[in-house]
Structure 1
Amino acid sequence: MTAPEIVELRRALGRLRQCVGSLRSRYGDVAAVQRLANDIERMDIDATELVELDRTPRQREAPRVEREVVVVPDTP
């Protein structure tokens, strides 16, 4: 991710935290609000990992799949 994308992501996470705080004030610390807060925390952790990666994006390697060829005869 580029620096502007990271900045925007951090802003969005901050806004989400504020919204969850408002929800917590209204509904209390119910399971649904806890899950939302945990989701935001997880996204923040993932964003931090992205920042720590090398600046050059890594290409994903396609998984190596061995395929078995099965011959199906045309005759009944």
Structure 2
Amino acid sequence: MAYTPNTWEPQDVITSEKLNNIEQGIVNVELTPGPKGDKGDAGPQGEQGPAGKDGVVTQEQYDAIIARLDALEGGTA
């Protein structure tokens, strides 16, 4: 049976019949996805973003990171 929503008005009384209708509507909702469709066409290429700075370190910074890791591990690798 298809769910029939109730149009609530401010003076409406909440009844077990109306609540059960809501509950049954929830139970009847299909939660599993349908079959996978075909892959769509690729969209247009976006604009080039600004050059990032993350992941770029100097040799001195790299050496300091390795030294801290070694200290945490209790020695040298």
Shorter-chain TM-score: what band? Answer: under 0.3
More helix by share: 1
Q: Which structure would you say has the larger RCO, counting Cα contacts within 8 Å and 6 or more residues apart?
A: 1
Structure-1-length-normalised TM-score? 0.28
Structure-2-length-normalised TM-score? 0.27
Larger radius of gyration: 2
